[in-house]
């Protein structure tokens, strides 16, 4: 037995709705618990201590068996998210899954580095802009980049306003070798227990248009601007 992983939910296959792997079929493993508390977090059921009783301790083999059940026993891209998946013991799961042909991508804010990041197929680092209310520990963030080693690493930054945009430009300039993805924030975290959370889609669309115009006017041609496709399609629901 290895250390259990605290799992909030395992769902899919669906498509990756955000960033570099947008559109790719994937199963999500969402871990419970986060060292941050972003003002606009859209996954509070995996962050808020009120939901702790819903986070099941699972062995890596049990997690992989559930992924395999969902994918019909066919190796698929597994996306590790949370909460902050970096605070969970995910190394053995990644090792076991890769031996069976699964690929792994992980979403994390970059506050905790682990040596097993190097075993990922993609590390998505999402440092938090001013609107989140969080302060980035840049030493920890750079430790994450270093830990990834040869694993493909990208930046994905959520933008709500001009201050976030200017911050994202600075961050991207600091890490010129990392591809950067910008996504407009959605302002409507689901209320507790609400599975069919509606999103202010008009607001998200307006922010997306503003972000595209801002990037183009600025001549920031290395940036990729993408909406959260799953939010557009299904709203801020769980399990999609
Ligand atoms: C829920 S987080 C979990 C992984 C990790 N804690 C992180 O923040 O990267 C997954 C992704 O959703 C983004 N996100 C969270 N709330 C959002 C919101 N309200 N609008 C747009 N993106 C959001 C995060 O920035 C991150 O890129
Ligand atoms: N389809 C889909 N794509 C996503 N990309 C990042 C997600 C996340 O919450 O980490 C997410 C999610 O929850 N669903
Ligand atoms: S770091 Fe990620 S999971 Fe944690 S509160 Fe922020 S957006 Fe939510
Ligand atoms: Mg999400």
94: closest CA among 142, 66, 61? Answer: 61
- Quote the tokens at residue 131: 């609107």
Reported ipTM: the value is 0.99
Q: What is the pTM of this model?
A: 0.97
Q: Ligand 1: which of 131, 156, 158, 161 to mutate, judged by most atoms within 8 Å of the beta carbon? A: 158
Three-class SS of residue 175? Answer: coil
Query: What is the spatial distance between Cα 201 and Cα 106, in angstroms, rounded to a whole number?
Result: 26
All structural domains of the chain, each given as residue ranges with its CATH number in brackets, are 5-154+227-234 (3.20.20.70)
Based on C-alpha coordinates, what's the Rg of the chain? 17
Q: Are 44 and 51 in contact (CB under 8 A)?
A: yes
Q: What is the pLDDT of residues 20-72, one digit of tens each?
A: 999 999 999 999 999 999 999 999 999 999 999 999 999 999 999 999 999 99
Distance 73 CA to ligand 3 centre (A): 31
């Amino acid at each position: 037995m290895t250390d259990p992983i605290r799992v909030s939910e395992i769902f899919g296959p669906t498509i990756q709705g955000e960033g570099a792997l947008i559109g790719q079929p994937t199963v999500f493993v969402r871990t419970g618990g986060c060292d941050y508390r972003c003002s606009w977090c859209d996954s509070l059921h995996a962050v808020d201590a009120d939901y702790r009783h819903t986070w099941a301790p699972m062995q890596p083999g049990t997690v992989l068996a559930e992924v395999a059940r969902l994918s019909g026993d066919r190796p698929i891209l597994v996306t590790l998210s949370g909460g902050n998946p970096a605070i969970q013991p995910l190394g053995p799961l990644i090792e076991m899954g890769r031996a069976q042909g699964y690929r792994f991508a992980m979403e994390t804010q970059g506050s905790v580095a682990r040596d097993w990041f190097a075993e990922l197929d993609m590390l998505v680092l999402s440092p938090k802009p001013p609107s989140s209310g969080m302060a980035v520990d840049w030493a920890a963030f750079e430790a994450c980049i270093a830990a990834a080693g040869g694993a493909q690493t990208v930046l994905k930054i959520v933008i709500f306003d001009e201050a976030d945009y200017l911050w994202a430009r600075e961050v991207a300039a600091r890490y010129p070798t990392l591809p950067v993805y910008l996504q407009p924030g959605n302002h409507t975290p689901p209320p507790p227990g609400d599975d069919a959370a509606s999103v202010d889609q008009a607001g998200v669309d307006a922010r997306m248009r503003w972000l595209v115009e801002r990037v183009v006017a600025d001549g920031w041609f290395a940036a990729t601007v993408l909406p959260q496709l799953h939010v557009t399609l299904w709203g801020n629901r769980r399990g999609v």
